[in-house]
Amino acid sequence: MAPPARTYRGTARNMALLARRLREGGLVAVPTETVYGLAGDATSRAACLRIFAAKGRPSNDPLIIHIAAARDLGRVAVPNAAALRLARLFWPGPLTMVLPKTAAVPAEATAGLPSVAVRMPSHPLFRRLIRLAGVPLAAPSANPFGHVSPTTAAHVRDGLGRRIRHILDGGPSSIGLESTIVDLRDPRRPAILRPGAITRAAVARALGVPVARSRASSGRGRLAPGQMRRHYSPRTPVVLHRTLSVREAARAGADAWLFVSKPAGRRGPANVFWLDARGDLRGAARRLFATLRRLDAGGFRRIHVERPEGAGLAEALRDRLARAAAR
């Protein structure tokens, strides 16, 4: 059996070591503001293939390429005016753009497509590691494919601890949901491929044109990650509801009941949980995956989840929960 992964703090010595491992074609689990990623040299065919193998990821699901500075965008993609505008407004941050790729990006990173998904993360440790490595880094979520995304180094160790060697611990992810992905191959018809913390309305305001919500995928491969019908899934079945009842939860003690906000009144039964005491969607997003992991380990028969309503971040939460509950 392979030895367990080692977890590193972000000291100068450790960062230099991990950057060297990346230049040599190795993999490093990294913190981001969204979720933890499994990083490898995006310009190396071998490193990209190691990412797919470690995760058990299908080859038709492209990787997101991460850069340390906006000036590096042209190294991996062919930007247009719309992309440059979004980069000025939202980078560094949780926005990924799909654009035509350059020859620097191997086909293995893009599911053989002529487009590439790219973003500049805001987590300082990850950006420093990209700079030290000197290459753009491909980094999908650092978990076995299709399972609940990791938002702490401990989550990565639980899922991939025997498949990888290095985990950089940068603390809990501050956002907790994967990045918004916008298709900008045709800037006249932008489309959101995956909702996230940067909302469709914010992208539309920035571009001054309507932004569609697309679920389309290419026949040769998906345009971007997170488009599978079932994804982000715990082993325990998830059931979505428009509303939940504490009274009903008390009658079904073998199931977990997860509310968006803390139910009113006295403390409910022990199988009742909530994402944010006040129902703040930013707090709910930050805790969603960690809570699903905890309930998955709790021995419950099913996990009943209240659907967040509304626009903006609620759309991203509904997207993750709908895929977690899909069969």
pLDDT at position 221 is 55
pLDDT at position 252 is 85
Type of residue numbered 92? P
Mean pLDDT rounded to a whole number for the chain? 94
pLDDT at position 218 is 40
pLDDT at position 266 is 63
In three state form, how does the secondary structure of the chain look?
CCCCCEEECCCHHHHHHHHHHHHCCCCEEECCCCCCEEEEECCCHHHHHHHHHHHCCCCCCCCEEECCCHHHHHHHECCCHHHHHHHHHHCCCCEEEEEEECCCCCHHHCCCCCEEEEECCCCHHHHHHHHHHCCCEECCECCCCCECCCCCHHHHHHHHCCCCCEEECCCCCCCCCCCEEEECCCCCCCEEEECCCCCHHHHHHHHCCCCEECCCCCCCCCCCCCCCCCCCECCCCEEEECCCCHHHHHHCCCCEEEEEECCCCCCCCCCEEEEECCCCHHHHHHHHHHHHHHHHCCCCCCEEEECCCCCCHHHHHHHHHHHHHCC
Which strands, in side-by-side order, build the sheet including 272-276? 238-241, 303-306, 256-261, 272-276
Tens of pLDDT, residue by residue, the chain (327 residues)? 778 999 999 999 999 999 999 999 999 999 999 999 999 999 999 999 999 999 999 999 999 999 999 999 999 999 999 999 999 999 999 999 999 999 999 999 999 999 999 999 999 999 999 999 999 999 999 999 989 999 999 999 999 999 999 999 999 999 999 999 999 999 999 999 999 999 999 999 999 999 998 754 444 457 877 777 778 899 999 999 999 999 888 888 899 999 999 998 766 789 999 999 999 999 999 999 999 999 999 999 999 999 999 999 999 999 999 999 998
pLDDT at position 231 is 80
Cβ distance 69 to 120 under 8 Å? yes
Identify the structural domains of the chain with CATH numbers, from first to last: 6-213 (3.90.870.10), 238-325 (no CATH)
End-to-end CA distance of the chain: 33
What's the Rg (C-alpha) of the chain? 19
Separation between Cα atoms, residue 67 and residue 38, nearest integer Å: 14
Separation between Cα atoms, residue 312 and residue 122, nearest integer Å: 20
CB atoms within 10 A of CB 170: 23
pLDDT at position 3 is 87
pTM for the predicted model, two decimal places: 0.95
Cβ distance 47 to 187 under 8 Å? no
